[in-house]
């Protein structure tokens, strides 16, 4: 560890910022909501005060610093004059302050980290001044997974802490209480900005510190594979889950977002091989929730687009268990975006339809006449095994044989592959390119607008001519 990042209390602390240029103004903005005494030293230079300047700010306009550094805890110096900055840094240290001279690492007692500010909760990221852009990128990633109300939740918890300690003298009992209470109703209310209601929820949880809970089930769309395509809410639910019931399309990178002690239950299916029947999956969700656990049913893509999520929600709801649904990026959207195929386009397609190549046995078949309509994009899920029948019936219904087609295998993953062909050559292209992974088949004139479609279609035509 190259650095140690302490947390310095700011209530009543004297913070001094020297300078009027952007470097100094950025430091002023750091403390715009802090409960500190902020002193801004302008050294007699013209200045424009930021609109969001801390209301507890004293502006010293004299050229001589005088006693500005007395009792200061932190001093920030943002000056182009290196020698002046050096002299002021010495004065500040003699007064007992820690000093940061902007863009001058040798003169710094500490570095300014990239901060995630949630009020009572702060997260600091530092590269020791060697890569501030990297620190900002990490901050953005961290901000995306921290709930907006976590600071308010921490403030609320602080007011309740002594009461919890009195009511629950055992360390383990307190730990279990906080794990449950801070992830339950109080957290939801804090995210809505309702501190009073969050406090009431914590007190209510304390009245029944070990409830016989029915738990909760979250159906969460895991997206097409790339963990960066998870929604912020999905990432947070995965991180907090005690049990994760997942299918085979959920990538290992997504599962790695779960806590280490989460129970993982694989209920994955492949074509013709269903080791865990759908009825049993519903039973597992109900059984685990009845143990009082936070259960996440994690599905590739979106739970409600050919994921049988509707059946699972109905089963869990019928069992009297709380159930929620968090959408995910569906494979069709990811496939189109990755290949830069606009699924709708004013000049090529005014409609898009998602269909499954494997409709329910005994159920209604696809309406091929409607799917063959012009100016219409068709995206087929689970269509690789039925490609020959699919293309034949679409052509028979009036779709031109030369309609461009894209087969996008493992969309958004590191091993994504794209194959471009025509509708009448769809089955042959799948066979010749050995397409076996989960694939989205995009059919329509919009395919020709992909940047690599022309080359792909030409290559496929060459293979067909050679054959």
Is the pLDDT reported for residue 209 higher than 70? no
The pLDDT-based confidence of 339 (bands split at 50, 70, 90) is: very high
CATH code 3.40.1010.10 for 216-326: yes
Q: Determine what percent of the chain is predicted with pLDDT higher than 70.
A: 95
In CATH terms, are 216-326 and 332-466 the same topology?
no
The pLDDT-based confidence of 182 (bands split at 50, 70, 90) is: confident
Is the pLDDT reported for residue 211 higher than 70? no
Is the pLDDT reported for residue 457 higher than 70? no
Instruction: Please state, in angstroms and rounded to a whole number, the distance separating the CA atoms of residues 275 and 269.
Output: 7
Is the pLDDT reported for residue 268 higher than 90? no
Contacts of 340 (CB under 8 A, 6+ apart): 449, 450, 451
Residues 100-117: tens digit of each pLDDT: 999 898 999 999 888 888
| pLDDT at res. 13 | 95
| pLDDT at res. 263 | 93
Q: Which of 91, 103, 253, 269 is catalytic?
A: 269
Is the pLDDT reported for residue 452 higher than 90? no
Q: Determine what percent of the chain is predicted with pLDDT higher than 90.
A: 52
Q: Decide: residue 10, CB within 10 A, 0-12 exposed, 13-18 middle, 19+ buried.
A: middle
| pLDDT at res. 352 | 95
Please report, for the chain, the start and end positions of each structural domain, with discontinuous segments joined by +.
14-112, 150-207, 216-326, 332-466
Cα distances (Å, whole numbers) of residue 239 to 88, 219, 233, 255, 259: 47, 14, 10, 9, 6
Is the pLDDT reported for residue 149 higher than 60? yes
| pLDDT at res. 15 | 96
Active site residue 247: yes
* Length reported for the chain: 467
Of 274 and 135, which is predicted with more confidence?
135
| pLDDT at res. 316 | 96
Q: b/e string for 296-335 if b means 16 or more Cβ within 10 A?
A: bbbbbbbbbbbbebeebbebbeebebebebbbbbbbbbbb
413, 454 contact by CB (below 8 A)? no
DSSP per position, 435-466: --S-EEEEESGGGGGSTTHHHHHHHHHHHHHH
Architecture of domain 14-112: 3-Layer(aba) Sandwich (3.40)
Is the pLDDT reported for residue 274 higher than 70? no
19, 26 contact by CB (below 8 A)? no
Q: Which of 1-5, 277-281, 292-296, 461-465 has the lowest mean pLDDT?
A: 461-465
Is the pLDDT reported for residue 226 higher than 60? yes
CB atoms within 10 A of CB 50: 14
Active site residue 269: yes
332-466 has which fold? Answer: 3.30.950
| pLDDT at res. 464 | 57
Average pLDDT, the chain: 88
Q: Which of 226, 247, 302, 424 is catalytic?
A: 247
Residues 378-425: tens digit of each pLDDT: 999 999 999 999 999 999 999 999 999 999 999 998 889 999 999 999
| pLDDT at res. 321 | 93
């Amino acid at each position: 560890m190259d650095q140690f990042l302490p947390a310095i209390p700011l209530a009543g602390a004297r913070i001094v910022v020297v300078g009027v240029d952007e470097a100094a103004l950025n430091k002023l903005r750091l403390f715009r909501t802090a409960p500190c005494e902020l002193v801004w030293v302008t050294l007699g230079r013209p200045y424009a005060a930021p609109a969001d300047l801390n209301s507890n700010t004293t502006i010293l306009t004299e050229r001589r610093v005088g006693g500005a550094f007395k009792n200061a805890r932190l001093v920030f110096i943002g000056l182009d004059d290196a020698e002046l900055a050096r002299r002021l840094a010495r004065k500040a240290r003699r007064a007992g302050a820690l000093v940061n001279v902007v863009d001058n690492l040798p003169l710094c007692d500490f570095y300014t980290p990239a901060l995630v500010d949630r009020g009572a909760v702060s997260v600091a990221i530092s590269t020791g001044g060697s890569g501030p852009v990297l620190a900002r990128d990490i901050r953005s990633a961290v901000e995306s997974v921290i709930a907006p109300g976590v600071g308010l939740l921490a403030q609320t918890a602080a007011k309740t802490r002594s009461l919890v300690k009195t009511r629950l003298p055992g360390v383990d009992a307190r730990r279990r209480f906080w794990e449950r209470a801070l992830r339950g109703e109080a957290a939801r209310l804090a995210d809505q900005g309702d501190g009073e209601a969050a406090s009431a929820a914590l007190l209510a949880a304390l009245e029944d510190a070990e409830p016989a809970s029915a738990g909760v089930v979250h159906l969460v769309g895991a997206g097409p594979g790339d963990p960066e395509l998870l929604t912020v809410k999905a990432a947070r639910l995965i991180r907090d889950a005690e049990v994760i019931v997942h299918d085979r399309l959920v990538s290992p990178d997504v599962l790695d977002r779960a806590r280490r002690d989460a129970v993982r239950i694989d209920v994955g299916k492949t074509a013709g091989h269903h080791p865990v029947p759908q009825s049993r999956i519903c039973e597992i969700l109900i059984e685990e929730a009845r143990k009082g656990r936070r259960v996440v049913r994690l599905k590739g893509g979106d739970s409600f687009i050919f994921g049988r999520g509707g059946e699972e929600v109905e089963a869990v709801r019928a069992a009297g268990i709380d159930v929620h649904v968090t959408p995910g990026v569906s494979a069709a959207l990811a496939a189109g975006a990755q290949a830069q195929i606009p699924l709708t386009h004013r000049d090529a397609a005014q409609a898009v339809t998602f269909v499954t190549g494997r409709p329910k046995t005994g159920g209604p078949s696809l309406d091929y006449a409607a799917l063959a309509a012009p100016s219409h994009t068709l995206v087929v899920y689970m269509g690789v095994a039925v490609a020959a029948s699919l293309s034949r019936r679409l052509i028979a219904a009036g779709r031109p044989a030369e309609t461009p087609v894209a087969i996008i295998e493992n969309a958004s993953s590191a091993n994504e592959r794209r194959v471009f062909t025509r509708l009448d050559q769809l089955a042959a292209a799948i066979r010749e390119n050995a397409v076996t992974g989960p694939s989205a088949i995009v059919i329509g004139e919009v395919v020709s607008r992909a940047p690599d479609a022309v080359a792909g279609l030409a290559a496929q035509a060459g293979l067909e001519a050679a054959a």
